[in-house]
Chains A and B, each alone.
Chain A
Amino acid sequence: MRRTKQIAIILSDTLQSAGLQSLLADYFPPVEILNFHSFSDFPENGNDFHYYFTKADTFMLNVDFFLPRRSRTLIITSDEKTSASSMGYNYLSTGLPQESLIEQLQQFFSTEESNDMTERSKELSLREKDVLKLIAQGSTNKDIADKLNISLNTVLTHRKNITARLGIKTVSGLTFYAIMNGLVSSELIG
């Protein structure tokens, strides 16, 4: 599954941020966008966002914050001569036709995304399969911990990973998956 991009838009121009937000939501889903009128509205110890959209002046005034995040920050500018990325900074000029805007946004996201394509194997690990089998047989988390001799926390982590891998959340769904893939036979299920 593609991960939801968490995006902070820090722009004082409400129309500009609304426009940007709708472009992002329409063309680059799934996104989760928070708008901030100015940098001071920005939660200081809040979670780090995946991407930032802001103006050059905000960037410069808060350079301590943005410099380490410059590859994930897009600077909105009205200057059409600024090239899309120079000196490691990413720019987007608002005057461009929509088609080019989208192209540039695409580029911005793709360069960044290729960096964090973490190894994501689709296969469950052996241990995860063991946990899944037990879930399918109706064991509670505590049962699973006892049977596999692992801590409750470890069970929870395994469950989280299984759900993330398969995209299946409910016990019924997981049970179905286990049967379908021959991890348990349907006779074992009540």
Chain B
Amino acid sequence: MQMSEVVEEHPSLIPIINRFGIRLGLGDKSVQEICDEYQLDPDFLLIVINTFLNEEYFPEKKLQTFHTSQIIDYLVKTNNYYLYFQLPNIEHHLTSFISMNISGNQTLALIGKFFFSFKNELVARIENDDRQWFPYCLALSGKLQEKIHKKDNQALSLNLEKRSEDVIEELLADLKRIIVKHLSGDYNLNLCYAVVSSISSLEKDIRQHNRIRFRILAPMVDAMEKLSVK
């Protein structure tokens, strides 16, 4: 199957393939050819694409067969995408939404405030990923490969990553619901839609990210921790 056909059918995949370094101008290349060109694991690319398109589909066992570094690499890329594209994008729409407010509707500024509290939360999580959690996971997997059995208890006890409910997701859902359900007063319809749809696409992306994070990476780390203690 040609990669271009898939992307034409589902343009929402563009940011996903971008994350793997794939750029548009796909030509007639098949998925396999693209993967060869960019030196990607086609199995991994396909699984990420499929889980993104079909939220029912989440082959946990298969995903856990990939290497820790592959999973983390992908999560890092999605984090960067939030930081450098999606958050600024929402912010951009939100700023015009708030400033195009002639009638002095105060709720809009409040929505802005709420967004920034969400943003802080997400940015903090990403920083923590980069500084602590991801390096820890990688170190753990490297340690196992070299079969060095150090018995130091420097386990960062990152068990907090095993939440089933995620604050980030909840904040985002609340933000959307507040606009949809509780918005009042005068506001610009178009800009409001731009805000909601950008929030919604971030929400979907984070949901996918979290599935991989909590249901794949966290259990992998768990298992590795047990092995490294032995």
Determine if B114 is an interface residue (Cβ-Cβ < 8 Å). Answer: yes
Q: Which partner residue on chain A sits nearest B177 by CB separation? A: A167
Which residues of B173-195 are within 8 A (CB) of A? 173-175, 177-178, 181-182, 184
Q: Identify 28 residue pairs between A and B in the complex whose beta-carbon atoms are under 8 Å apart, listed by A's number.
A: A25-B56, A166-B181, A166-B182, A168-B174, A168-B178, A169-B174, A170-B167, A170-B170, A172-B114, A172-B117, A172-B118, A172-B171, A173-B114, A173-B170, A173-B171, A173-B174, A173-B175, A173-B177, A173-B178, A176-B110, A176-B113, A176-B174, A176-B178, A179-B110, A180-B110, A180-B184, A181-B182, A186-B110
Residues from chain B with a CB closer than 8 A to the CB of A179 are: 110
**Cα A168 to Cα B114 with chains together (Å):** 13
- CB of A177 within 8 A of chain B? yes
Residue ranges of B at the interface with A (Cβ–Cβ < 8 Å): 56, 107, 110-111, 113-114, 117-118, 167, 170-171, 173-175, 177-178, 181-182, 184
CB distance from B196 to the nearest CB of A (A): 15
Assuming A172-B118, A180-B184, what are 5 further A-B pairs, CB within 8 angstroms? A168-B177, A169-B173, A169-B174, A173-B178, A177-B182
Q: DSSP majority for the A interface?
A: helix
Q: Please, how many angstroms separate the alpha-carbon atoms of A25 and B56 in the complex?
A: 11
When distances are taken between beta carbons in the complex, the residues of chain B under 8 Å from A173 are: 114, 170-171, 174-175, 177-178
| Residue contact B182 to A170, C-beta cutoff 8 Å | no
Main secondary structure of the interface of B (DSSP, over half): helix
CB pair A180 B107 closer than 8 Å: yes
A176 CA to B184 CA, complexed, in Å: 13
Closest 4 CB pairs of A and B: A173-B174, A169-B170, A176-B114, A170-B170
Of B56, B174, B177, the contact of A172 (CB 8 Å cutoff): B174
Q: Which residue of B lies closest to A167 (CB)?
A: B177
Distance between Cα atoms of A25 and B167 in the complex (Å):
27
Q: Are B110 and A170 in contact (CB under 8 A)?
A: no
Number of A-B contacts (CB under 8 A): 43
Smallest distance from the beta carbon of B204 to chain A beta carbons, Å?
A: 16
Measured between C-beta atoms, what is the minimum distance from A31 to chain B in Å? Answer: 12
* Distance in angstroms between the alpha carbons of A127 and B142 in the assembled complex: 56
**B114 cross-chain contacts in A, Cβ below 8 A:** 172-173, 176
Q: Contacts of A181 on B, CB cut-off 8 Å?
A: 182
Q: Mark A173-189, 1 if CB is under 8 A from B, else 0.
A: 10011011100001000
- What distance in Å separates the Cβ of A29 from its nearest Cβ neighbour in chain B? 12
Specify the chain A residue showing the minimal Cβ separation from B165. Answer: A169
A173 CA to B177 CA in the complex, in Å? 9
A131 to chain B, nearest CB (A): 17
How many Å from the CB of A159 to the closest CB on chain B? 14
Chain B residues whose C-beta falls within 8 Å of the C-beta of A25 in the assembled complex: 56
CB neighbours (8 Å) of A176 from chain B are 110-111, 113-114, 174, 178
**B182 contacts which chain A residues (CB < 8 A)?**
166, 177, 180-181
> Once the chains are docked, how many angstroms separate the CA of A180 from the CA of B118?
18
Q: Which of A176, A177, A179, A186 has the most CB of B within 10 A?
A: A176
Chain B residue, CB-CB nearest to A25: B56
**Are B184 and A170 in contact, CB atoms less than 8 angstroms apart?**
no
Central interface residue in A25, A169, A173, by most chain B CB within 10 Å: A173
